[in-house]
Amino acid sequence: MPTNSSYPEAPIPDVDLWGFLFERKDKPFSDDKVIYVDPHTNRSYTYAQVKATAIEFGQGLKALWDWQKGDVLALYTTNCIDTPAITWGTHWAGGVLSPANPAYTVDELAFQLKDAGAKAIVTQMAFIKNAQEAATKVGIPLDHVIVMGDERDPTYRVKHFTSIRKTAGSARYRRTKAKPDQDLAFLVYSSGTTGHPKGVMLTHRNIVANTMMIKVAEGGKLSSTGGPGGDGDKILAFLPFFHIYGLTCLIHQSMYSGFQLVVMPRFDLEDFCKIVQERKVTFLYVVPPIVVLLAKSPVVSKYDLSTVRMMNSGAAPLTKELVEAVYNRLKIPIKQGYGLSETSPTTHTQPWETWNTQIGSVGTLLPYQEAKYMSPEEKELKPGEVGELWIKGPNVFKGYLNNPEGTANALTPDGYFKTGDVGYQDADGNFYITDRIKELIKYKGFQVAPAELEGILLSHPSINDVAVIGVYEKEEATELPRAYVVPKDGLGRTDDEKKAIVDWLGKRVAGHKRLRGGVRWLDEIPKSASGKILRRVLKVKAQEEEQG
Ligand code: 4UW
């Protein structure tokens, strides 16, 4: 029997995201509650301002570019307080948002734009050149590349997002309602269990459900009235909004629950500590490498972080030693959550009360979740037995865009999603993730798809064959991508040659995909009879090397 969530389950409203956030009857905070703040400029958005700006933006999309239901807007920016209004403005006009990492190279961005079929791009001045080049590559007209957050720069003749409405004239358009369980709200990119990044189709209902599920699981501990002054919880948002963790847990949770999001464009430890102290931040969503810094860096000692009541870590495994080190140093508890792009994302979280009794667990099932661990023969396992985690619920994605084969491999006919993660549950319903059977590498929470790097490396003139795996680096609490390379005759097999390959790839990919785990020479890549790379063999090799 699959395990069911033990939380109470109120009905999920049958509305799209706009209806869920902006037409609700039960909003527990006022329209002038400040939801998004930029701590560096003090610029902010209240709930009402987000709504008004989103409508203006949505009107502009319709007036300027005849925005139709299902049209895709790509977002290529760092975290910014304008992002929420752009997101829901796109939905207002019936569109779908596809967020991309601003560190992407032109080719990486062009891949996503083309795959998602994007009609326009919103970016920032810092990234305009890449955005315009990528747009040109895939045939998006340059006047469909808009900037936000910065002043207009006449050299590029780009539109600023707030000016779109003005450009549009006086016409008035009506909102396009989405069908919650059919129409897409987001196309985020994930490599899933194998291959290249794929468009994860998330419907309005997926995100509505997950936002409600997270609120229930947090047990009312985060609210519009919590925190030291009773003026609501404050969460520091440095995790990227383009990744599903930030998209749902930060942007959507804050707007639904009415707590304040203090938005950082990028992570810097000193800035992070200063903002926590000055703004009296009460809760943090983190990833394990940030926990390492909080446990070890001398910078942290200069600041008072005592207003933080709890941290939530996810996107990669967190060790017991780190949880204890941070608690001993800062007296801040850390609980774990778990999820994936394909599950919108959160499926599990530790209840606040169990952070120190179940260290190492990713928590219990959120409402509406059914889960089971399965053997390689696809037999359901009992508590304590280790297997692959399968999950079912209203937050499970609709499939991979234009990829029926990938979708059929990931989703069973009865609606289970095969996570590619391995673990077990105990008799009390606490879940543990102990390993991964999918290819995916996680560098500091960011996805790295081995197949993507292998594809690029195979075009290197001196490489005959190659396999990429992740090797765990304990000091930084992260995996690092490493390439095992079979060189063509003539390559020296020297350290200089290795470095040259690392640098060569580094010029072609975003920073998080660099071969930080180095290059190793091999005579032959271990492969199965059908030609699949035997990554396990390489992982064992890496561990043996580690142990000397
Ligand atoms: N322990 C071990 C974990 C864990 C983990 C994720 O890039 P994606 O698709 O998505 C994410 C989502 C992170 C996330 C979701 C919900 C949540 O509450 C939370 O915070 C606590 C974080 O990263 O990568 C999905 C893959 O990331 C790994 C796992 O392999 C999964 O398939 N992963 N969380 N706590 N591994």
Q: How far apart are CA 67 and CA 108, in angstroms?
A: 25
Provide φ and ψ at 226, rounded to 5°: -75, -170
Give the residue whose CA is nearest to atom 5 of ligand 1. 316
Pocket (CB within 6 angstroms of ligand 1): 190, 244-245, 249, 312-317, 336-341, 345-346, 349, 362, 419-421, 433, 436, 442, 445, 447
pLDDT at 226: 76
Q: Which two tokens stand for residue 479?
A: 């995996």
CA of 331 from ligand 1 middle (Å) equals: 25
pLDDT at 227: 72
Q: Which of 340, 396, 435, 512 to mutate to test the pocket of ligand 1 (most atoms within 8 A of CB)?
A: 340
pLDDT at 517: 97
- In the block, which residue shows the tokens 């920016």? 77
The pLDDT of 347-367, averaged and rounded, is 96
pLDDT at 395: 98
Provide φ and ψ at 258, rounded to 5°: 80, 25
CA 76 vs CA 114, 126, 326, 351, 451: distances in Å = 14, 10, 34, 34, 23
Q: Which helix (H) or strand (E) holds 544?
A: helix 535-546
Q: What is the pLDDT of residues 4-29, one digit of tens each?
A: 998 888 889 999 999 999 999 999 99
pLDDT at 246: 97
Which atom of ligand 1 is nearest the CA belonging to 337? 21
The pLDDT of 112-133, averaged and rounded, is 96
pLDDT at 153: 55
Give the residue whose CA is nearest to atom 23 of ligand 1. 315
Which residues are bridge partners to 177 per DSSP?
none
Query: Which range is least confidently modeled, 14-28, 66-80, 138-152, 406-420?
Result: 138-152
Greatest distance between any 2 Cα atoms in the chain: 72
Whether this model's ipTM surpasses 0.95 comes out as yes
Report whether pLDDT(156) > 80.
no
Provide φ and ψ at 179, rounded to 5°: -85, 115
- Residues above pLDDT 90, as percent of the chain: 87
CA of 339 from ligand 1 middle (Å) equals: 4
pLDDT at 22: 98
pLDDT at 230: 78
pLDDT at 339: 98
- In the block, which residue shows the tokens 């780009």? 158
Q: Which two tokens stand for residue 352?
A: 């606040």
Q: To 10 degrees, the CA torsion angle through 137, 143, 146, 151?
A: 120
Say how far residue 4 (Cα) sits from the centre of its chain: 25
pTM of the model: 0.96
Amino acid at 318: L
pLDDT at 169: 65
Which residues are bridge partners to 190 per DSSP?
198
CA of 314 from ligand 1 middle (Å) equals: 5
CA of 348 from ligand 1 middle (Å) equals: 10
Write down the number of H helices and E strands in the chain: 16, 27
Helices (H), 66-127: 83-92, 106-116
Give the three-class secondary structure for 391.
strand
Report whether pLDDT(450) > 90.
yes
pLDDT at 157: 59
pLDDT at 495: 92
- In the block, which residue shows the tokens 């409402």? 367
Ordered DSSP codes for 384-428: T--EEEEEESTTS--EETT-HHHHHHHB-TTS-EEEEEEEEE-TT
pLDDT at 9: 82
pLDDT at 458: 96
Check if the beta carbon of residue 44 is closer than 8 Å to that of residue 81. yes
Q: Round the CA-based radius of gyration of the chain to a whole number and report it.
A: 23
Q: What is the pLDDT of residues 458-495, one digit of tens each?
A: 999 999 999 999 999 999 999 999 999 999 986 778 99
Q: What is the pLDDT of residues 34-76, one digit of tens each?
A: 999 999 999 999 999 999 999 989 998 998 899 999 999 999 9
Give the residue whose CA is nearest to atom 1 of ligand 1. 317
Which residues are bridge partners to 96 per DSSP?
72
- How many residues does the structure list for the chain? 548
Average pLDDT, the chain: 94
Check if the beta carbon of residue 510 is closer than 8 Å to that of residue 104. yes
Q: How far apart are CA 320 and CA 304, in angstroms?
A: 24
CA 334 vs CA 272, 294, 358, 359, 472: distances in Å = 17, 11, 11, 9, 22
Report whether pLDDT(394) > 60.
yes
pLDDT at 508: 97
CA of 346 from ligand 1 middle (Å) equals: 8
DSSP letter (8 states) at residue 36: E
Provide φ and ψ at 481, rounded to 5°: -70, 130
Q: How far apart are CA 80 and CA 348, in angstroms?
A: 28
Pairing of strands 346-349, 364-365: antiparallel
The pLDDT of 505-532, averaged and rounded, is 95
Cβ neighbours for 489, distance < 8 A, ≥ 6 positions apart: none
Helices 128-138 and 106-116 meet at what angle, rounded to 10?
50
Residue 469: name the closest of 420, 436, 430, 421 by CA.
Answer: 436
The pLDDT of 167-174, averaged and rounded, is 75
Q: Which helix (H) or strand (E) holds 32?
A: none
Give the residue whose CA is nearest to atom 25 of ligand 1. 340
Q: How far apart are CA 535 and CA 504, in angstroms?
A: 23
Q: What is the pLDDT of residues 221-272, one digit of tens each?
A: 998 987 777 789 999 999 999 999 999 999 999 999 999 999 999 999 999 9
pLDDT at 37: 97
Which atom of ligand 1 is nearest the CA belonging to 420? 32
Check if the beta carbon of residue 401 is closer than 8 Å to that of residue 116. yes
Report whether pLDDT(520) > 60.
yes
Cβ neighbours for 480, distance < 8 A, ≥ 6 positions apart: 443, 470, 471, 472, 473, 515, 516, 517, 518
Assign 161 a pLDDT band (cuts: 50, 70, 90): confident
pLDDT at 547: 83
pLDDT at 451: 95
pLDDT at 168: 61
Which atom of ligand 1 is nearest the CA belonging to 341? 9
CA 209 vs CA 12, 29, 99, 202, 205: distances in Å = 6, 20, 20, 11, 6
The CB density around residue 70, as the number of other CB atoms within 10 Å, is 14
The full 3-state SS of 424-468, as one line of letters, equals EECCCCCEEEEEECCCCEEECCEEECHHHHHHHHCCCCCEEEEEE
CA of 318 from ligand 1 middle (Å) equals: 11
